[in-house]
Amino acid sequence: MCDGIGRQAPGRMATLAVRKFPAPVTSREVFMGNDALSILDKRTQATYEVPIEDGTIRAMDLRKIKTGPDDFGLMTYDPAFMNTGSCRSAITFIDGDKGILRYRGYPIEQLAEKCTFLEIAYLLLSGELPTETQLKEWRKQIIHHTMLHETSKKFLEGFRYDAHPMGMFISTVAALSTVYPDARNVHDPASRNLQICRLIGKVPTIAAYTYRHSLGFPYVYPDNDLGYAENFMNMLWRMMEPKYTANPILARALDILFILHADHEQNCSTNVMRSVGSSQADPFVSTAAAAAALSGPLHGGANEEVLKMLDQIGSKDKVPAYIAEIKAGRGKLMGFGHRVYKNYDPRARIIKWAADSVFEITGKNPKLEIALELERIALEDEYFVKRKLYPNVDFYSGIIYQAMGFKPEMFTVLFAIPRTVGWLAQWQELVQDPEQKIARPRQIYTGYEARDVVELEKRALATAPVTAQP
Ligand code: CMC
């Protein structure tokens, strides 16, 4: 793709264009207008022009900036990807400064108000909202796959009674890779579609079984007459009744929570999905890897941590003392802050709104009072204001989940169910993107230069012993 024009003699202009640009380059205006970056390498006095496209420069263009033929070329160093775009994506748009979130161009507020989760799944995966006929067909495809193979149920039986549901969820999703070896055909669109339907159909079943397992209750088979959220509730909570009837307000609230969690562009777990998927691993193991990333307390695991934090605070009057601890650097306010949002997370706003209808049915969660006080104080406090720390999606979701009857260990699993759709939409985009290759970052090596191995008996202790002792 690149035109191969490398470093020029000092003082001359070199073009690092991805597209073919005519050479020799004498004036950047002639070839690039103003959509270029001029770089003077002070080590060599060479000047380079790098095209700017969509507000970015290509990191590979910098490789041609060299001090000599043996020089590897310039790299960017960006731990934690603070300023690196890794893909082109048409799925989700976030404006973190303005607090905007859109799926395929539609504002999240409208989607949460007017659509069901299965419509959103269709939208994220296909690019458009379904018509009534398309939705009917799509629903049929998903419910066809809600059952787990009986042997897959046995994977779950092997876990200890107190195993964390997220660990069970991750492992069982990964194990499905052995049940569906055809999933390795990642370049076959029909096979991809089948695995996508299998995963979307089965993740609520796996999630519900992890819950029943921890209680020692028998598993409940899916009921395909029910909607996506209702069926999940059926598999969680049905006891002896012949047919489970979900409370429609709670089922709708759960469906809205699923919509809000469905995708969030290149977050930590989605980056894992793409990274693992880039090796052409099958979507079951890729999804399991993404779910593992989600489980961390800085990502989807934060919702569980919020509840622990609220328990630890105990009552509203203890909030100022807790905030003082955070400001003194002792811990983080869980459910606050975001890499991208430097404004109120729009999902948190919708969750707060949905909470009212849930509490009308379940009664108010007493922790809400503590959470509201935390938010009130934090939003006025200079420490949080200066750092633009606002409540994120995890701040209020746990309070609703708990009011609905979920225990905190289940919260991240509840996040993983809908996010599976986002991971799969991003994976599908990755697989079809001709620009993508196996993900493989570079490093800045900070270790020893080459050195010779000394025979065991002649080795002296060079420095303090390393910590990892056998
Ligand atoms: N409480 C107190 N201080 C915080 C918090 C917090 N929750 N989050 C960030 N800060 C401070 C941080 O200490 C740093 O201060 P300083 O400039 O003095 O060093 C500053 O704010 C910038 O923080 P950062 O760590 O550089 O920000 P980041 O973009 O690397 O981290 C984050 C983003 C979400 C990991 C972080 O805000 C955090 O740990 N929040 C708590 C965990 C949480 O709620 N995670 C869920 C995220 S939303 C759901 C999802 O997508 O997973």
pLDDT tens, the chain, 470 aa long: 233 233 333 333 334 433 333 333 333 334 456 899 999 999 999 999 999 999 999 999 999 999 999 999 999 999 999 999 999 999 999 999 999 999 999 999 999 999 999 999 999 999 999 999 999 999 999 999 999 999 999 889 999 999 999 999 999 999 999 999 999 999 999 999 999 999 999 999 999 999 999 999 999 999 999 999 999 999 999 999 999 999 999 999 999 999 999 999 999 999 999 999 999 999 999 999 999 999 999 999 999 999 999 999 999 999 999 999 999 999 999 999 999 999 999 999 999 889 999 999 999 888 999 999 999 999 999 999 999 999 999 999 999 999 999 999 999 999 999 999 999 999 999 999 999 999 999 999 999 999 999 999 999 877 666 565 54
Hey, what CATH topology would domain 106-443 get?
Answer: Citrate Synthase; domain 1 (1.10.580)
- Most informative mutation of 338, 382, 426 for ligand 1 (most atoms within 8 A of CB): 338
d(CA 270, CA 268): 6
Ligand 1 residue neighbourhood (C-beta within 6 Å): 264, 267, 298-300, 302, 326, 332-339, 387, 389, 392-394
- Most informative mutation of 261, 333, 343, 387 for ligand 1 (most atoms within 8 A of CB): 387
Q: Give nearest CA residue, ligand 1 atom 28.
A: 339
d(CA 335, CA 392): 5
The sign of the dihedral angle between the CA atoms of 51, 57, 60, 66 is positive
Nearest to 220 by CA among 309, 299, 148: 148
Cβ neighbours for 160, distance < 8 A, ≥ 6 positions apart? none
CB 272 within 8 A of CB 292: yes
> Any idea what DSSP says for residue 183?
G
Q: Which residues are catalytic?
A: 299, 338, 394
d(CA 42, CA 116): 57
Strand order in the sheet with 92-95: 92-95, 100-103, 106-107
How remote is the CA of residue 394 from the centroid of ligand 1, in Å? Answer: 13
Nearest to 403 by CA among 461, 444, 362, 437: 362
Coil/strand/helix, residue 41: strand
